[in-house]
Structure 1
Amino acid sequence: MKVVKKAVICGGHLTPAIAVMECLLADGWQLHYFGRLYSLSGEKIPSLESVTVSKYQAQFIPFSAGKLPRHFTWRILPELLKIPIGFLTALIQLNKIRPGIIISFGGFLALPVSYAGKILGIPVVTHEQTAVMGLANRLIGRFARLTYLSYEATGKVPASAKVKVTGMPMRSSIVAANNTKFNRESLPMLFITGGSQGSHSINRLIYPIIRLLLNDFRIILQCGESNEGQDFRLLVKLKNSLPAKISSRFRIVKTIDIDETGSIFRDAAVVVGRSGANTVAELCYFRKKAVLIPLPWSAEMEQRENARFLEKAGMAIVLDQNKATPESLKAAIYRAAKSHLPEYSENSLQLKFDPCAKKLVNILGQILN
């Protein structure tokens, strides 16, 4: 009788998790994904993970947990109360599922699931996507069977952690991506993204200069549901007011289908966006020029460090959100478009790639055997 291999996947970064899911599902694994049901607290907008995971043969388990407080604010008590609740929920769910392994991708959701797994005797592995290990992974890494790394010289790795550099898992749709079919004019394509949830700050900066940019670029703008959807409505109104030829160069979407991301990155001449781990990896993988506006309040200034990493490599112009203006953003976009990328290799960047997550999954099999 064939033994069904079961795994629980949890954590902050969806894109590499999907790459691993695709590889495991192809090998006949039964998967359970612990994630947020809604993207923002207090709003009923389905999260990207709940929408995306439902497309695969994997069970999505709605899960919430408190964030470890870094500063004292009025939110500290509700967040602290969520931590034991999340842990107990994870304990109950894992006891029902009884997976052979837990695969964490860091972040506050992975912490209670990983600790509950440790208590139940379930092996835990975790993957770090950034150049500096986050707090959750530093804690999980102390007892995980293995911590996978994306960078050769990842910072803040616990001395007791068992590590292996396998690289950033890249989805099959990224590896096999062709250029997008959006408006095949000879103009270069500008991709503007605020990340999976969009960014009101980026939308606000780009809105006044869109008409001008459309003279020289085709534009795909992923605006999200930010500002209660008002940004999307304003942008659609602007698009509809443009002459037909100019309007055809402008595509507005709330979210980008995860399978289309690779095609858009491959076609883009310049990318404007945040500097999260996935964006940085995709920029490096496709060797694209970027204008980056790091999220000011990202954990441990992660996005600022990511942006500096690309800036030092000569791949990005970095703007401070608190100082950026529409004019400075416009100038940065044109400067990036005219610049030439330096010659570099995967080794010189120290960021490794794991196409279709094959390295990670192969080592996973060795851990379980």
Structure 2
Amino acid sequence: MKQKSIILTGGGTAGHVSLNQAIIPELLAQNYDVHYIGSKDGIEKELIGETFPEIPYHEIASGKLRRYFSLKNFSDPFRVMAGVGQAFSIIRKVKPTIIFSKGGFVSVPVVMAAKMANVPVVVHESDVTPGLANKIALPFASHVFTVFKETMQHLPSDKTTCTGSIIRQQLFEGDKERALRLCGFVPTKKVLLVMGGSLGSVVLNDALRENLNQLLPMFNIVHLCGKGNIDESLQNIEGYCQFEYVTEELSDLLFLSDLVVSRAGSNSIFEFLALRKPMLLIPLSAAKSRGDQILNANLFKKQGFAHVLEEEMLTKTTFMKSIEALIKDEEEIIDRMLDAEQPKTPKEMVTLITQYEK
């Protein structure tokens, strides 16, 4: 029997890649010929290349979709159209039975080209409200899967299904001892993990570092600070370990951690929930985003899985008070997490996706 092919796309941030990373092993186990379409310089190239070097990675041009004025708004449509042509050529060569899009700017040319090539497209939306790229992709999609039930009110009911979260199996295979060795920690204190997303967060970094003297007597601290954000003056402080970004080590660090401070990207917060990690969420402000993280965070707060500190209210003092409040509620939050709906497995997600293949 001829081997089936599938093309995955999505990029711009780690959140637009992590689900693809989760389902690739299952697709390979089912003998699919897996290809990935991404941008030349996006984080998706690094993440897919490091984890799955055997998978063909195809680069295309893409333009950023901006909600504000920029001269690049006049040139980027031409980049998108160039990307459509490149994606169409790749699709004609690979001949996939289906294309799965996780969103992000690079996915737009791919889903448009898929429609031209008459290849079904399944789209995944992980935030409460659809992102701009997925809104553009919607007319070209055969079906849309969502993480939040609340998202369905923004999408056509006849081609939308809520799956809940999908968590990669590797996340549950973390090793505390390996993480202790990596960080050089002595296991006598609880561990606080602070992360600002794949690109880092200056405001989170500053709030944490301003409170190190108060936090270190209570915690060993793992700090994922973003590329270029290592503070060399703090490198040799006992109990404080900085990383720009981690990939394979993340599951170990999560297993080691007791509490998490993070932005509120959907993929990350569902991973914390799956591992029963009480979290303080500091969502990206509406001034810096479309407000999706604020909605994500507030839904988790409503369900009792997280505390939320708005970025506009973030100071040295409010950060410390929020950590103290999280410590106080830690056990109650874990109890509520134990009753949460279990995430889908990658195998279940692959079955949902491939039912739409041609």
Q: TM-score range by the shorter chain?
A: 0.7 to 0.9
The aligned residue for residue 249 of structure 2 is 260
TM-score normalised by structure 2 residue count: 0.87
The aligned residue for residue 133 of structure 1 is 130
Instruction: Confirm whether residue 91 of structure 1 aligns to residue 95 of structure 2.
Output: no
Instruction: Confirm whether residue 368 of structure 1 aligns to residue 357 of structure 2.
Output: yes
Instruction: Provide closer, same or farther for how the CA distance between residues 265 and 21 of structure 1 changes in structure 2, counting only shifts above 3 A.
Output: same
Give the C-alpha shift of residue 166 in structure 1.
Answer: 2.5
Asked whether the equivalents of residues 100 and 353 of structure 2 are also in contact (C-alpha less than 8 Å), the reply is no
Residue by residue over 1:214-262, the C-alpha shift from the partner in whole angstroms, topping out at 9 and shown as x without a partner, is: 111011111111xxx2x31x2x32132x3xxxx1x221111112x3323
Give the C-alpha shift of residue 326 in structure 1.
Answer: 1.8
Give the C-alpha shift of residue 160 in structure 1.
Answer: 5.8
The aligned residue for residue 44 of structure 1 is none
Of 21, 24, 37, which residue of structure 2 is paired with 1:21?
24
1:222-241 equivalent positions in 2, closer than 5 A: 222-225=224-227, 229=228, 231-232=229-230, 234=231, 236-240=232-236
The aligned residue for residue 284 of structure 1 is 273
Q: Look up the equivalent residue of 1:158 and give its one-letter code.
A: L
Residue by residue over 1:289-332, the C-alpha shift from the partner in whole angstroms, topping out at 9 and shown as x without a partner, is: 22222122565311111111122222322223233112221221
Identity of matched residues, %:
26
Of 116, 120, 125, which residue of structure 2 is paired with 1:119?
116
Instruction: Confirm whether residue 169 of structure 1 aligns to residue 166 of structure 2.
Output: yes
TM-score normalised by structure 1 residue count: 0.85
Q: Aligned equivalents of 2:140 and 2:58: distance in 1?
A: 24
Q: Look up the equivalent residue of 1:192 and give its one-letter code.
A: V
Give the C-alpha shift of residue 129 in structure 1.
Answer: 1.3
Q: Aligned equivalents of 1:306 and 1:318: distance in 2?
A: 10
Give the C-alpha shift of residue 155 in structure 1.
Answer: 4.1
Asked whether the equivalents of residues 102 and 125 of structure 1 are also in contact (C-alpha less than 8 Å), the reply is yes
1:1-369 equivalent positions in 2, closer than 5 A: 2-12=1-11, 13-39=16-42, 47=43, 49-56=45-52, 57-159=54-156, 161-179=158-176, 181-182=179-180, 183-225=185-227, 229=228, 231-232=229-230, 234=231, 236-240=232-236, 242=237, 247=238, 249-257=239-247, 259-296=248-285, 297=287, 299-340=289-330, 341-342=332-333, 343-344=335-336, 353-355=343-345, 357-368=346-357
Instruction: Provide closer, same or farther for how the CA distance between residues 72 and 160 of structure 1 changes in structure 2, counting only shifts above 3 A.
Output: farther
Structure 1: runs of 5 or more not aligned: 40-46
Residue by residue over 1:264-312, the C-alpha shift from the partner in whole angstroms, topping out at 9 and shown as x without a partner, is: 2233221111111111111221222222221225653111111111222
Q: Aligned equivalents of 1:358 and 1:164: distance in 2?
A: 17
Asked whether the equivalents of residues 145 and 161 of structure 2 are also in contact (C-alpha less than 8 Å), the reply is yes
Asked whether the equivalents of residues 194 and 274 of structure 1 are also in contact (C-alpha less than 8 Å), the reply is yes
- Give the match's secondary structure for 1:169: coil
Q: Look up the equivalent residue of 2:195 and give its one-letter code.
A: T
Asked whether the equivalents of residues 127 and 147 of structure 1 are also in contact (C-alpha less than 8 Å), the reply is yes
Aligned length: 345
Instruction: Provide closer, same or farther for how the CA distance between residues 267 and 173 of structure 1 changes in structure 2, counting only shifts above 3 A.
Output: same
Asked whether the equivalents of residues 275 and 307 of structure 1 are also in contact (C-alpha less than 8 Å), the reply is yes
Q: Look up the equivalent residue of 1:280 and give its one-letter code.
A: I
Instruction: Provide closer, same or farther for how the CA distance between residues 147 and 7 of structure 1 changes in structure 2, counting only shifts above 3 A.
Output: same
Give the C-alpha shift of residue 336 in structure 1.
Answer: 0.9
Q: Aligned equivalents of 1:204 and 1:75: distance in 2?
A: 31
- Give the match's secondary structure for 2:314: coil
Give the C-alpha shift of residue 117 in structure 1.
Answer: 0.5
Which piece of structure 1 moves more, 127-136 or 301-310?
127-136
Q: Aligned equivalents of 2:109 and 2:191: distance in 1?
A: 42
Which piece of structure 1 moves more, 138-147 or 110-119?
138-147
Asked whether the equivalents of residues 5 and 28 of structure 1 are also in contact (C-alpha less than 8 Å), the reply is yes
RMSD across aligned C-alpha pairs, in angstroms?
2.4
The aligned residue for residue 42 of structure 1 is none
Instruction: Provide closer, same or farther for how the CA distance between residues 170 and 133 of structure 1 changes in structure 2, counting only shifts above 3 A.
Output: same
Give the C-alpha shift of residue 184 in structure 1.
Answer: 4.6
- Give the match's secondary structure for 1:103: strand
The aligned residue for residue 43 of structure 1 is none
Q: Aligned equivalents of 2:169 and 2:266: distance in 1?
A: 18
Q: Aligned equivalents of 2:167 and 2:357: distance in 1?
A: 23
Asked whether the equivalents of residues 38 and 44 of structure 2 are also in contact (C-alpha less than 8 Å), the reply is no
Q: Aligned equivalents of 1:308 and 1:298: distance in 2?
A: 17
Structure 2: runs of 5 or more not aligned: none
- Give the match's secondary structure for 1:219: strand
Asked whether the equivalents of residues 122 and 356 of structure 2 are also in contact (C-alpha less than 8 Å), the reply is no
Asked whether the equivalents of residues 152 and 162 of structure 2 are also in contact (C-alpha less than 8 Å), the reply is no
Give the C-alpha shift of residue 128 in structure 1.
Answer: 1.5
